[in-house]
Chains A and B, each alone.
Chain A
């Protein structure tokens, strides 16, 4: 039997626009994943603790406020500090192309910008299935 992949969908920071995160959560549920949804206004510390307690394989961060350069790398750094960097972090939201390289360098594996079809996200997860089957 295939392992059931667990994904945390979290919104760090003060941005309360969660329609995108909820859309993604719902779509990933329909794709057969277990999605933990924590709601808006999470601190990076809370997200990392949640990811560890829930033993997720992926963390999806959603942010539309512009604070991604600050908050996304912090989540990745805190995961590393907890020796939990085997958890794959992906980001989504209104993120300028120019910011993407530095986000990737900070430990965010990939960034999905507005208009990305959900199938791209599922393909990314499936392409990494082997890595998380521990």
Chain B
């Protein structure tokens, strides 16, 4: 295991790929692996790229990689696509649009299936970011699955969120709603050559204008692009550079990263506690028994669980 961590730190591609698989498959060794890599994390910029299906996230990313590579930056991509709720399988097709970088040593692209996780990314995404960060990539881009209105988990994983929108999906009331529309740090109107692109821009401006009426300095940038024609990408990257500079200077980057750690630690804690308690009760095997009792109305759901939990706490001498 330590061996694998050392190889990852040296940037060995096979080791990086294998490490991500360990995380995806939730192998017990992953804990030591992540702990071994963790001291080396924190150097990469993490970008979240999100937006509805077909907005052009992968194509945009393809062009971003091209320009970042000219600046000699090493770029890694985690591209998340949905797993089938029926078979558990997945078609991971995002890298199709980025395949021109397949033989570039400075680019690492990994497709990741959501495996039932609902927030627009996979359970494994946050630890996979750590692997890539420790391996020395300068920029790590997380491409979410095509999102609807509530898949916003990427905001907790990234330093900056690029929200990619396209004309034709609704009026400004859609843009005012809670959820995805609130998480963009930079708004991108892609496919700007299409009808309705200027209208969409005006709608976003209108909505953000209301939101930031009292703090115009916090107004979020809107960039028009046509990724497939390679238009607007340089401008976008100037905007992201400025944004990154700004959040580094005013310490909101540090705050974001600390918040990220907080939710990770909370999650690990909750998972571990829950796993221990479940094991103690042989939960998965006895669940049917409990369901049966509740179904037949011999037990009530809250009293049953409270009874079991109290029993557990008493055994631990906590009560």
Contact = CB atoms under 8 A, between A and B. Distances in A.
Contacts of A30: 84, 86-87, 89
A3 B92 CA distance: 17
A112 interface: no
B245 interface: no
A33 B89 contact: yes
Interface string A12-41: 000000000000011011111111111100
B13 A4 contact: no
A23 to B, nearest CB: 12
Nearest to A84: B14
A53 B13 contact: yes
A35 B102 contact: no
A22 to B, nearest CB: 9
Interface string A92-118: 000000000000000000000000000
B201 interface: no
A38 B95 contact: yes
Contact of A46 (B14, B20, B24, B99): B99
A35 B90 CA distance: 6
Contacts of B20: 55
Interface string B77-110: 0000001101111111101100100110000111
B63 interface: no
B233 interface: no
Given A4-B25, A52-B13, A31 B89 contact: yes
Given A42-B99, A49-B103, A53-B110, A32 B17 contact: no
A53 B96 contact: no
B203 to A, nearest CB: 34
Given A4-B115, A53-B110, A37 B103 contact: no
Contacts of B102: 38, 42, 45-46, 49-50
Given A30-B84, A42-B99, A25 B115 contact: no
Contacts of A26: 91
Q: How large is the interface on B (under 10, 10 to 19, 20 to 34, 35 or more residues)?
A: 20 to 34
State the main secondary structure of chain B at its contact with A: mixed
Nearest to B27: A3
A109 B290 CA distance: 49
A35 B84 CA distance: 11
B113 interface: yes
A126 to B, nearest CB: 14
A82 interface: yes
Given A52-B13, A53-B17, A55-B17, A34 B103 contact: no
A3 B24 CA distance: 10
Nearest to A42: B99
A25 B84 CA distance: 13
A43 B101 CA distance: 12
Contact of A36 (B84, B87, B111, B115): B111
B89 A34 contact: yes
Given A53-B108, A55-B21, A36 B88 contact: no
Q: Please name the 8 residue pairs, one residue from A and one from B, whose CB atoms are nearest each other, closest first.
A: A46-B102, A55-B17, A29-B89, A39-B96, A32-B87, A55-B21, A32-B89, A36-B92
Interface of B: 13-14, 16-18, 20-21, 24-25, 83-84, 86-93, 95-96, 99, 102-103, 108-111, 113, 115
Given A4-B113, A49-B102, A54-B111, 6 more contacts: A4-B115, A29-B90, A34-B89, A53-B17, A55-B14, A55-B21
11 contacts: A4-B113, A30-B87, A34-B92, A34-B113, A37-B91, A38-B99, A39-B96, A55-B14, A55-B17, A83-B14, A84-B14
